Structure 1
C-alpha cells in the first residue's frame, strides 16, 4: 500500500503579479497627458512662434544664399533650420487637431493611434533641432569678432550685414523664447500641483472638483 505525500507548495517570492487593469490604467493616463499637452494653449503658441521663425529664416537664408563667403554655412543653417521648423509646424498642427478635435470631440479610440507617432516625432525633432542649432551657434558666433559687411571683395571676412544680423538675432531670440516657454511651463506645473494639493479628497483618494 502506497501513500501519497502532498508536499507543501511555496510561492516564489521573486514572482510579482501584474494587474493588467493597472497597466492599462497607467497607459491611459500617459495618453491623456499627451493629449492634454498637444491640445494645450502653450503648444498652440509654440506652433505659431515656430511658423513665424520658420518664415523669417527661410526668407533670409534663400535671399542671401551666396552672400556670406566668410562662412557659407550661415545661410544654409537658416535654410535647414527654417525648413525643419516648417515640417515640425505641419506635423504639430496635425497633432493639435488630433488631440483637440478627434480625441476631444469625435473618436478617442481612433485618436490614440496617433499619440505614439506624435511623441516619437517630437523627440526626433528635438534632438535634430538641438544639434543643428548648436552648429549654427558655432558658425555665427565664431566669426563675430572679424566679420565685416562693407568690403565684398574681401571674401575672407565679408558677410552681408542683413544676413548676418538676421542669423545672430534669430539665435538670440530663440534662446529668449525657450527661456520664456520653460519658465511658463514650470510655473504652470507648480501652480497646478498646488491646486491639486489644496482640493478636498474623497476617502478613496480622489479629489473633488469645486
Structure 2
C-alpha cells in the first residue's frame, strides 16, 4: 500500500520537447483568443460579452502561462520559504481561481445562445453573431472539457493500474516475511536440538565419571 501511495505522489514529469510544446501551446491559445476577440469585438450583438470574454481570458491566461515559465529556486535545506516564492504561488493561485470563475461565466454566455444567427439581417441584427467568433469561442470552450475528460480518464486508469500492481508487491513482501519467520523458527529448533544433544552428552559424561569412581 505504501508503494501505491508513492506512485500516486510521483507523477511523470514533462521533459525536453514535450515541456516546450506544452508551454508554447499554453501561450499560443491566449494570444489567439486576444486576436479573435479584438478583431470581432463589435460583431456579436446577440451576446456582446463573448468578445470581451475572449480578450480577458487571453490576457490573464497569457499572464498565467508566462508566470509558470519562471523557474523557482530549489527549496533551501533549512525549509525556510522565500518571500518571492510565496508571492508567486499566491498570485498564480488567485489568477487560476479568477480564470476558473471567468470560464464558468463564459460558458453561460456562449452556450446560452447556441446557435446564433450567422447571417447579418438588416431588419433584426440583435440575433446576429459572427460565425468565426462564435464557433471559435464555442470550440475553445468545449476543448477544455475534452481535455479535462481525457485527463480524468487517464488519471483513473493510472490509479487502477497502480492499484493492481500493488498486490504483487505486497505478496512478495509477505513471502519474504514468511521466509524470514520460517528461517528463524528453524534456527530456534536447531538451537534447541543442539542444546538437548549437549545435555545428553553431559549426562553421559557424568554417568561415566560416576561409574569410574
Check whether TM > 0.5: yes
Give 2:154's aligned residue.
184
Of residues 90, 105, 120 in structure 1, which corresponds to 2:66? 90
Larger Rg: 2
Deviation (angstroms), 1:188? 4.3
Confirm or deny that 1:133 pairs with 2:106.
no
Unaligned 5+ runs, structure 2:
1-8, 174-213
More helix by share: 2
Q: Residue in 2 aligned with 1:14? A: none
Q: Matches of 2:99 and 2:166 in 1, distance apart?
A: 35
Match of 1:173 among 107, 127, 143: 143
Query: Once the two structures are superposed, what CA deviation does each residue of 1:130-174 show, in whole Å capped at 9, x if it has no partner?
Result: 2111111111111114x1121253321111111111111111111
Work out whether residues 67 and 92 of structure 2, in 8 Å CA contact, stay in contact via their aligned partners in 1. Answer: no
Q: Deviations over 1:161-196 (max 9, x none)?
A: 111111111111111112223333454456567667
Note closer, same or farther for the CA distance 1:47–1:141 as it changes in structure 2 (3 Å cut).
Answer: same
- The two structures have a TM-score, normalised by structure 1, of 0.61
Moved more, 68-77 or 117-126: 117-126
Equivalent in the alignment of 2:118: 149
Residue from 105, 109, 115 that aligns with 2:76:
109
Q: CA deviation at 1:84?
A: 1.2
* CA gap 1:125/1:191 in 2 versus in 1, 3 angstroms: farther
Structure 2 CA distance for aligned equivalents of residues 125 and 136 of structure 1: 16
Q: 1:190 to 1:117 in 2, by over 3 A?
A: farther
Over the residues paired in the alignment, what is the CA RMSD in angstroms?
3.4
Check whether the contact 2:46–2:126 (CA below 8 A) recurs between aligned residues. Answer: yes
Counterpart-to-counterpart distance in 1, 2:87 and 2:164? 32
- C-alpha deviations, 1:86-106, integer Å up to 9, x for none? 011011111xx22xxx42xxx
Structure 2 CA distance for partners of 1:71 and 1:85, relative to 1, 3 Å: same
In the TM superposition, 1:33-52 aligns within 5 A as 40-41=13-14, 44=19, 47-52=23-28
- In the alignment, structure 1 residue 81 sits paired with structure 2 residue 31: no
